[in-house]
Structures are given as structure tokens and as C-alpha cells.
Structure 1
């Protein structure tokens, strides 16, 4: 498949995990891909990789302008960069709330805002945000993270409404628990990593974690010009976590 031939994609947080899988897939399907990441040196080979902290407005503006200049425009923005948080509502102080929301929510706004002038010049403009299953269902010990992803859901719908008349599509993917480095670190810190891993698998009806490649395919499906009538959609890739009850 090469439906992305001639298109330029920006993937934030594209140096590892879901972001790297997404950037690689878009590249394989014909896109010219730029990765924005604080560890750009770890990005997949063959891609334009730019150091960028999405909490820094000036850095975002420079990086986005650099992508447009070097690759000839921007057609696709994948707002993948994000950080996790654990604990109930009393577990994190104001500084941690500000930090997580700055990355997971305001970071999307910064990158999208910088990219909008370029998207307006594209024939196939689209933004795909990274949401989460926890925006739909209450999960223990995820208060701050859930709040940030609930905001991503609402932001995605608002952006879709704001820009539909311009032909800019805005969608999101909502993964369930995914086999990523962050989840690996959570399990490594657990008192009983094997039991913690089993519990994560058990809460998804498919009985396993979602893979980064599966999320990448979902992002690509929403970003594809073949999905030209899809906007304001939140695609759940969660092993049935938010919609099925099998016990």
C-alpha cells in the first residue's frame, strides 16, 4: 500500500514505542516522515528526526517550520507524544498535574497550532491525536492520566468541529493497555511483576496487551486519504476493554 505517497507526516514522540511504530508504517506506505522527539537520535533510520520538547512553544514552532521547509509542507500530524501518571486524585501534587497536562494536552495544542498554516495548504490534511481507553472507563490509580486523556477526547472533537469547514480532518485513537516501555517500567516497579502483568492482560477481553504495531495501523487508517469522510472519530483499539463484559 502506498496511499501516503507524496504526503508529509509529522509524528511527535516518534523515537520509540507507538510513535516509532507509527512513523515506520507511514514511511513504508509512502509518506515522507519527520519525527519530533526529545531523543530524536533514537528515531527509526531513514526518517527526518528533529530534537523537540513539545512543552516548549519556541522549540515546537522551529521544528514544525523546519519540517515544512525540509520536506516541502505538512499533510499529516500525529500527536503521539505523551507521559503517564499513576495514583488516585490525592497522589500527585500541583506540579505533577501541570507537567502531565502540559505534555498530554497543551502539547497537542502547540503542535497543531504550529502546523495549521501548513495543513491549510494541503490537499489531504489530517490530525490524529493519541487518546486512551481510560477516557471512557474508570481505571484505578490513573486519576491524573485519565483526566489528561479525557481532555484529549474533548479537544479532538472540538478541533474536528472547528476545522471541518477547512477540510482538515481531526480524529483520535484510544488504545487499551499497550505493550510499551512505560508499561514495562510500571510492571518492573510492581511488588509482583508477573501478577501485575496478568492483571493487565485480564482486564482486556482479548486476554493480552495491545501491540504498538496495532495502534500504528489504527493511526494510519485514520490518517489515510482513503478515509476522507472520517472526522471527529475516536477509534478504540483496546481489546474490548471499554465495550465488552465477558464475565
Structure 2
């Protein structure tokens, strides 16, 4: 039996039985064993093969790690590029530009968010888009996002880098459904557009340090979200 036919049979079984999430793997294994298939279809493949009218019910059955978006907000962690801190390197920080993997200063480079960032060349736009796609493939909604900016002392980076980084993240949300984003250089149109975008940013926490969190830095963080 061909792949699409297998997907269809599994989808029909899952929907007809109103299957609890705990039984999904068992049903997939039973169908694949029946036809002697060496691999089991991923949940993302089943969601992609479902008809539009089936996707919402199927999404609830296949949902992986529901606690990730239990509050209705998808946490999207992004990493800034590796850069030295102005005060030097603290003993607990394992990474940095001189690290073998050139990881962000306060990370080893092996954390899930750090690995994603490295794969995408620390490009904020690509990191956000990839994480949104991953959430949707796992069955989560991404209409509301908490953007978590990690990777070191963000407020110690140049104002130009901070503005470019956050603007690129917001642009990725605005364009996620195929809509062109407003404005190229000015962040204000991007932020205004995001208020009505299909993927809206509802919060932006920044990684920083007490000595880089004065009035000037706080005002800049507030201006960025």
C-alpha cells in the first residue's frame, strides 16, 4: 500500500474511534504491521495528509506536549549570535566566540534552542519561522507567541543589532502566512502590523544582567516590545 493510502487509513481509524492520544502509536503500529511497512508515519505527515475539515479534530488527537501551549501562547526561543560580553567572560559561562562550536556566551551550544540557532546561522528570521513550523507540525496553534530572546547579554549588543534582531523576529511572524511585512528599516510599521497579524507577539523577555539593566537599557527594551 502506498504512503498516501496508509496515511488515509490511519487518519480514518483515529477519527472514527475518537482515539485518545495514548493510543495513537498503537494504531499506527498495527496498520504498518498489517502491510509490512518498515517505518511508521510521523504525526506531521498525518496532519499534512488530512482534509481541511479533519485537521482540527486530528490536531487534538495527535497533539504532542500539550503543556507547551496550554496557556494559549507558544514560547519561541531565539538565540543571538555569539559575541563577547564587555565585562569579559564569567567563570560559569561555558561558551562564547572562542568556543569550539562558537556558541553564545552563556550556553554550551548543545541546548535545543542553541542547536536550532546554529543550524540557521543565528539568523533571527529563520529561527522564528522554523520554530513556528515545528510547533504546527506537532499540532500546536501559533496565533500568539512569546518571543524569548536568549544567547547572552542582549542589552550589551549595539542598539542597531538589537533593533535588527527583534525586527527580524517580528517580520517572520508577520510574513508567516505569506503576507508581506510592512517597512524595511523602520520597526514601527512592523510592530503595528503585528497587532493584527495571524501570528502575534504578546511578550518579549530579554536575557540580560543586572549591570546591563539600567534606565537606558530598560527604555530600549520597552521600545523593542
Return the TM-score normalized by structure 1: 0.31
Q: Which has the larger radius of gyration?
A: 2
More strand by share: 1
Return the TM-score normalized by structure 2: 0.34
